[in-house]
Structure 1
Amino acid sequence: MPRGFFITFEGLDGSGKTTQLRRLATSLAAEGHHVVTLRQPGGTALGDRIRGVLLDSRSEASLGPIDPIAELTLMFADRAQAIAEVIQPALAAGSIVLCDRFTDSSEAYQGGGRQLGSDRVLALHTAVCGTLQPDLTLLLLPPLEASLARARRRNHRNTQTHGTDENRFERESDEFYGRIHNAYRRIAEREPTRVITIAENHTIEEIEKIIHQIVAQQLPATLPTSQASTLEA
Structure 2
Amino acid sequence: MTGSGLWVTFEGGDGSGKTTQARLLQEWIESTGRTVVRTREPGGTEVGRTLRELVLHHRAADGTSDIGPRAEALLFAADRAHHVASLVRPALDRGEVVIQDRYLDSSVAYQGAGRVLDAREVRELSLWATDGALPDVTVLLDLDPSAARARLEADDKPFDRLEAQKDEFHARVREAFLALAAAEADRFLVLDATRPVDDLAADIRAHVAPRL
Same fold (TM over 0.5): yes
State the match for 1:124 in structure 2. 125
SS at match of 1:59: coil
State the match for 2:175 in structure 1. 182
State the match for 1:218 in structure 2. 211
Equivalent-residue separation in structure 2 for 1:42 and 1:99 (angstroms):
11
Does the CA contact (< 8 Å) of 2:17 and 2:193 recur in 1? Answer: no
When the two structures are aligned, how many residues end up with a matched partner? Answer: 210
Does the CA contact (< 8 Å) of 1:143 and 1:199 recur in 2? Answer: no
Runs of 4 or more consecutive aligned structure 1 residues displaced over 4 Å after TM superposition:
none
Equivalent-residue separation in structure 2 for 1:123 and 1:2 (angstroms):
23
Does the CA contact (< 8 Å) of 1:35 and 1:96 recur in 2? Answer: yes
State the match for 1:13 in structure 2. 14
Equivalent-residue separation in structure 2 for 1:158 and 1:172 (angstroms):
15
Unaligned residue ranges in structure 1 (runs of 5+) = 160-165, 220-233
> Are 2:160 and 1:167 equivalent residues in the alignment?
yes
Displacement of 1:64 in angstroms is 5.1
Equivalent-residue separation in structure 1 for 2:7 and 2:86 (angstroms):
15
State the match for 1:59 in structure 2. 59
State the match for 1:110 in structure 2. 111
Give the 3 Å change call, closer, same or farther, for CA 217–85 of structure 1 in structure 2.
same
State the match for 2:136 in structure 1. 135
Higher RCO (CA-CA < 8 Å; seq separation 6+)? 1
SS at match of 2:82: helix
Equivalent-residue separation in structure 2 for 1:63 and 1:78 (angstroms):
23
Give the 3 Å change call, closer, same or farther, for CA 64–147 of structure 1 in structure 2.
closer
Equivalent-residue separation in structure 1 for 2:127 and 2:41 (angstroms):
18
SS at match of 1:140: strand
Equivalent-residue separation in structure 2 for 1:151 and 1:23 (angstroms):
20
Give the 3 Å change call, closer, same or farther, for CA 55–152 of structure 1 in structure 2.
farther
Displacement of 1:129 in angstroms is 1.2
Equivalent-residue separation in structure 1 for 2:76 and 2:35 (angstroms):
27
Equivalent-residue separation in structure 1 for 2:196 and 2:60 (angstroms):
36
Q: Which moved more, 1:118-127 or 1:179-188?
A: 118-127
Unaligned residue ranges in structure 2 (runs of 5+) = none
* 1:119-177 CA-partner distances (Å, limit 9, x unpaired): 111220231111210000000002222112112332xx345xxxxxx522121100000
Equivalent-residue separation in structure 1 for 2:195 and 2:134 (angstroms):
28
Code of the residue aligned with 2:47 in structure 1: it is: L
Does the CA contact (< 8 Å) of 1:152 and 1:170 recur in 2? Answer: no
Give the 3 Å change call, closer, same or farther, for CA 167–200 of structure 1 in structure 2.
closer
Code of the residue aligned with 1:42 in structure 2: it is: G
TM-score, normalised relative to structure 2? 0.93
SS at match of 1:60: coil
State the match for 1:230 in structure 2. none
The percent of aligned pairs where both chains have the same amino acid is 37
Does the CA contact (< 8 Å) of 1:107 and 1:118 recur in 2? Answer: yes
Displacement of 1:111 in angstroms is 0.3
Counterparts of 1:22-41 in structure 2, within 5 Å, are: 22-41=23-42
- RMSD, aligned α-carbons: 1.7
